[in-house]
Chain A
Amino acid sequence: SAVISQKPSRDICQRGTSLTIQCQVDSQVTMMFWYRQQPGQSLTLIATANQGSEATYESGFVIDKFPISRPNLTFSTLTVSNMSPEDSSIYLCSVRDSPQETQYFGPGTRLLVL
Protein backbone atom coordinates (compact mmCIF):
# COMPACT_ATOMS: atom_id res chain seq x y z
CA SER A 1 0.00 0.00 0.00
CA ALA A 2 1.05 3.60 -0.56
CA VAL A 3 2.60 5.57 2.28
CA ILE A 4 0.69 8.79 2.84
CA SER A 5 1.85 11.76 4.87
CA GLN A 6 0.00 14.90 5.81
CA LYS A 7 1.17 18.25 7.08
CA PRO A 8 0.43 19.74 9.50
CA SER A 9 -0.64 16.93 11.79
CA ARG A 10 -2.60 19.36 13.90
CA ASP A 11 -3.20 23.07 14.22
CA ILE A 12 -5.13 25.61 16.23
CA CYS A 13 -6.37 28.54 14.18
CA GLN A 14 -8.31 31.73 14.69
CA ARG A 15 -11.66 32.21 13.00
CA GLY A 16 -11.49 34.05 9.72
CA THR A 17 -8.10 32.68 8.79
CA SER A 18 -7.22 29.95 6.28
CA LEU A 19 -5.15 26.79 6.58
CA THR A 20 -3.61 24.73 3.80
CA ILE A 21 -3.15 21.02 4.40
CA GLN A 22 -0.66 19.07 2.34
CA CYS A 23 -0.89 15.43 1.35
CA GLN A 24 2.14 13.59 -0.04
CA VAL A 25 2.13 10.01 -1.35
CA ASP A 26 5.27 7.96 -1.87
CA SER A 27 4.06 6.62 -5.22
CA GLN A 28 1.86 7.76 -8.07
CA VAL A 29 -1.80 7.11 -7.44
CA THR A 30 -4.78 7.37 -9.71
CA MET A 31 -7.17 9.13 -7.39
CA MET A 32 -6.86 11.29 -4.31
CA PHE A 33 -9.67 12.30 -2.03
CA TRP A 34 -10.24 14.63 0.87
CA TYR A 35 -12.53 13.64 3.73
CA ARG A 36 -13.72 15.37 6.85
CA GLN A 37 -14.47 13.63 10.11
CA GLN A 38 -16.18 15.78 12.68
CA PRO A 39 -16.01 14.81 16.34
CA GLY A 40 -17.84 11.56 16.97
CA GLN A 41 -18.93 11.29 13.35
CA SER A 42 -18.07 9.14 10.38
CA LEU A 43 -16.20 10.15 7.27
CA THR A 44 -17.67 12.65 4.85
CA LEU A 45 -16.20 13.02 1.39
CA ILE A 46 -15.38 16.64 0.59
CA ALA A 47 -14.03 16.24 -2.92
CA THR A 48 -12.04 14.21 -5.38
CA ALA A 49 -8.75 15.88 -6.27
CA ASN A 50 -8.19 15.60 -10.01
CA GLN A 51 -4.71 15.86 -11.40
CA GLY A 52 -4.43 18.82 -13.73
CA SER A 53 -8.04 19.92 -13.45
CA GLU A 54 -10.55 21.28 -10.97
CA ALA A 55 -11.58 19.09 -8.09
CA THR A 56 -14.98 17.41 -8.03
CA TYR A 57 -16.90 18.54 -4.96
CA GLU A 58 -19.61 16.71 -3.10
CA SER A 59 -22.94 18.24 -2.25
CA GLY A 60 -22.54 20.80 0.51
CA PHE A 61 -18.92 21.60 -0.25
CA VAL A 62 -17.78 24.43 -2.52
CA ILE A 63 -14.53 25.46 -4.08
CA ASP A 64 -14.48 28.89 -2.46
CA LYS A 65 -14.51 27.34 0.99
CA PHE A 66 -12.32 24.29 0.25
CA PRO A 67 -10.00 25.01 -2.68
CA ILE A 68 -8.02 21.95 -3.71
CA SER A 69 -4.95 21.57 -5.84
CA ARG A 70 -3.38 18.48 -7.35
CA PRO A 71 -0.39 19.44 -9.46
CA ASN A 72 0.83 15.85 -9.95
CA LEU A 73 0.05 12.23 -9.14
CA THR A 74 1.70 12.25 -5.71
CA PHE A 75 0.67 15.53 -4.10
CA SER A 76 -2.46 17.46 -3.21
CA THR A 77 -3.45 20.35 -0.98
CA LEU A 78 -6.72 21.24 0.70
CA THR A 79 -7.30 24.76 1.97
CA VAL A 80 -9.92 25.49 4.59
CA SER A 81 -10.83 29.13 3.99
CA ASN A 82 -12.33 31.77 6.25
CA MET A 83 -12.53 29.27 9.07
CA SER A 84 -15.19 29.16 11.74
CA PRO A 85 -15.42 26.93 14.83
CA GLU A 86 -17.71 24.62 12.82
CA ASP A 87 -14.70 23.72 10.68
CA SER A 88 -13.02 22.09 13.65
CA SER A 89 -12.54 18.56 12.46
CA ILE A 90 -10.09 15.95 11.29
CA TYR A 91 -9.23 16.29 7.62
CA LEU A 92 -8.06 13.12 5.92
CA CYS A 93 -6.32 12.59 2.63
CA SER A 94 -7.11 9.28 0.97
CA VAL A 95 -5.78 7.54 -2.11
CA ARG A 96 -7.14 4.82 -4.31
CA ASP A 97 -4.88 1.96 -5.27
CA SER A 98 -6.27 1.48 -8.76
CA PRO A 99 -7.52 -0.78 -10.23
CA GLN A 100 -8.44 -2.84 -7.17
CA GLU A 101 -10.29 0.13 -5.73
CA THR A 102 -8.67 -0.36 -2.34
CA GLN A 103 -8.49 2.99 -0.62
CA TYR A 104 -6.02 4.06 2.05
CA PHE A 105 -5.96 6.99 4.42
CA GLY A 106 -3.32 9.38 5.57
CA PRO A 107 -2.77 10.08 9.28
CA GLY A 108 -5.09 13.09 9.25
CA THR A 109 -4.85 16.75 10.21
CA ARG A 110 -6.58 17.73 13.42
CA LEU A 111 -7.88 21.26 13.18
CA LEU A 112 -9.29 23.33 16.01
CA VAL A 113 -10.75 26.72 15.18
CA LEU A 114 -11.21 29.17 18.02
Chain B
Amino acid sequence: QKEVEQNSGPLSVPEGAIASLNCTYSDRGSQSFFWYRQYSGKSPELIMSIYSNGDKEDGRFTAQLNKASQYVSLLIRDSQPSDSATYLCARGGGATNKLIFGTGTLLAVQP
Protein backbone atom coordinates (compact mmCIF):
# COMPACT_ATOMS: atom_id res chain seq x y z
CA GLN B 1 0.00 0.00 0.00
CA LYS B 2 1.35 3.40 -0.97
CA GLU B 3 1.69 5.93 1.80
CA VAL B 4 -0.27 8.53 -0.12
CA GLU B 5 -2.66 7.53 -2.88
CA GLN B 6 -4.29 9.63 -5.54
CA ASN B 7 -6.19 8.83 -8.68
CA SER B 8 -3.86 9.80 -11.52
CA GLY B 9 -6.74 11.01 -13.69
CA PRO B 10 -7.12 12.83 -15.90
CA LEU B 11 -10.09 14.42 -14.20
CA SER B 12 -11.97 16.45 -16.75
CA VAL B 13 -14.48 19.09 -15.66
CA PRO B 14 -16.24 21.85 -17.58
CA GLU B 15 -15.39 25.46 -16.89
CA GLY B 16 -17.35 26.80 -13.94
CA ALA B 17 -17.90 23.39 -12.35
CA ILE B 18 -16.57 22.10 -9.05
CA ALA B 19 -13.48 19.92 -9.31
CA SER B 20 -13.07 17.37 -6.53
CA LEU B 21 -9.64 15.88 -5.94
CA ASN B 22 -9.17 13.08 -3.46
CA CYS B 23 -6.29 11.60 -1.50
CA THR B 24 -5.92 8.82 1.05
CA TYR B 25 -3.00 8.10 3.33
CA SER B 26 -1.88 5.12 5.36
CA ASP B 27 0.04 6.56 8.32
CA ARG B 28 -2.44 7.39 11.08
CA GLY B 29 0.23 9.44 12.80
CA SER B 30 0.26 11.98 9.98
CA GLN B 31 -0.18 15.47 11.37
CA SER B 32 -0.27 17.78 8.40
CA PHE B 33 -1.53 17.69 4.84
CA PHE B 34 -0.77 19.78 1.83
CA TRP B 35 -2.04 20.34 -1.67
CA TYR B 36 0.40 21.50 -4.30
CA ARG B 37 -0.34 22.52 -7.86
CA GLN B 38 2.18 21.78 -10.57
CA TYR B 39 1.91 23.15 -14.06
CA SER B 40 3.68 21.25 -16.79
CA GLY B 41 7.38 22.08 -16.77
CA LYS B 42 7.14 24.02 -13.52
CA SER B 43 7.89 23.24 -9.89
CA PRO B 44 5.14 22.53 -7.34
CA GLU B 45 3.50 25.50 -5.66
CA LEU B 46 1.64 25.26 -2.38
CA ILE B 47 -2.10 25.84 -2.55
CA MET B 48 -3.42 24.74 0.82
CA SER B 49 -2.32 23.23 4.06
CA ILE B 50 -4.65 21.63 6.58
CA TYR B 51 -3.95 20.26 10.02
CA SER B 52 -7.32 19.72 11.71
CA ASN B 53 -10.39 17.72 10.85
CA GLY B 54 -12.98 19.63 8.89
CA ASP B 55 -12.91 22.16 6.12
CA LYS B 56 -10.51 24.99 5.37
CA GLU B 57 -11.42 27.52 2.74
CA ASP B 58 -9.21 29.91 0.80
CA GLY B 59 -10.87 31.69 -2.07
CA ARG B 60 -12.09 29.13 -4.59
CA PHE B 61 -10.25 26.33 -2.83
CA THR B 62 -11.52 24.20 0.05
CA ALA B 63 -9.47 21.49 1.70
CA GLN B 64 -11.27 18.82 3.69
CA LEU B 65 -9.64 16.49 6.19
CA ASN B 66 -11.08 13.40 7.84
CA LYS B 67 -8.43 11.74 9.98
CA ALA B 68 -10.71 8.89 11.05
CA SER B 69 -11.12 7.88 7.41
CA GLN B 70 -7.55 8.90 6.52
CA TYR B 71 -8.88 11.01 3.72
CA VAL B 72 -8.11 14.49 2.48
CA SER B 73 -9.68 16.27 -0.46
CA LEU B 74 -9.45 19.50 -2.39
CA LEU B 75 -12.45 21.19 -3.92
CA ILE B 76 -12.01 23.85 -6.58
CA ARG B 77 -15.12 25.93 -7.16
CA ASP B 78 -15.82 27.78 -10.39
CA SER B 79 -13.03 25.87 -12.14
CA GLN B 80 -11.11 27.81 -14.74
CA PRO B 81 -8.95 26.57 -17.63
CA SER B 82 -6.00 28.08 -15.77
CA ASP B 83 -6.61 25.51 -13.03
CA SER B 84 -5.58 22.76 -15.43
CA ALA B 85 -2.52 21.22 -13.81
CA THR B 86 -1.38 18.25 -11.76
CA TYR B 87 -2.42 18.42 -8.12
CA LEU B 88 -0.15 16.74 -5.63
CA CYS B 89 -1.28 15.64 -2.21
CA ALA B 90 1.35 15.37 0.52
CA ARG B 91 1.34 14.37 4.15
CA GLY B 92 3.75 15.39 6.87
CA GLY B 93 4.44 14.25 10.40
CA GLY B 94 3.81 10.66 11.32
CA ALA B 95 6.53 8.10 11.76
CA THR B 96 9.03 9.73 9.42
CA ASN B 97 8.24 13.44 9.87
CA LYS B 98 8.92 13.97 6.17
CA LEU B 99 6.68 15.15 3.39
CA ILE B 100 5.49 12.18 1.39
CA PHE B 101 3.81 12.89 -1.92
CA GLY B 102 1.16 11.09 -3.85
CA THR B 103 1.53 10.53 -7.58
CA GLY B 104 -0.72 13.47 -8.40
CA THR B 105 -4.02 13.94 -10.20
CA LEU B 106 -4.08 15.62 -13.57
CA LEU B 107 -6.99 18.07 -13.79
CA ALA B 108 -8.22 19.32 -17.13
CA VAL B 109 -10.77 22.13 -17.13
CA GLN B 110 -12.57 22.30 -20.44
CA PRO B 111 -13.57 25.78 -21.71
Contact = CB atoms under 8 A, between A and B. Distances in A.
B49 A43 contact: no
Contact of A42 (B34, B42, B46, B88): B88
A43 B46 contact: no
Nearest to B31: A101
B45 A105 contact: yes
Q: Give the interface residue-count category, chain B.
A: 20 to 34
A108 B46 contact: no
B103 A41 contact: yes
A105 B98 contact: no
Contacts of A43: 44, 88, 101
Interface residues of A, number: 19
B98 A45 contact: yes
A67 interface: no
B62 interface: no
Given A101-B92, A103-B34, A103-B99, A42 B43 contact: no
Interface of B: 31-32, 34, 36, 42-46, 49, 88, 90, 92-93, 98-104
Interface of A: 1, 33, 41-43, 45, 48, 90, 92, 94, 100-108
Top 3 nearest A-B pairs (CB, nearest first) are A105-B43, A42-B103, A43-B101
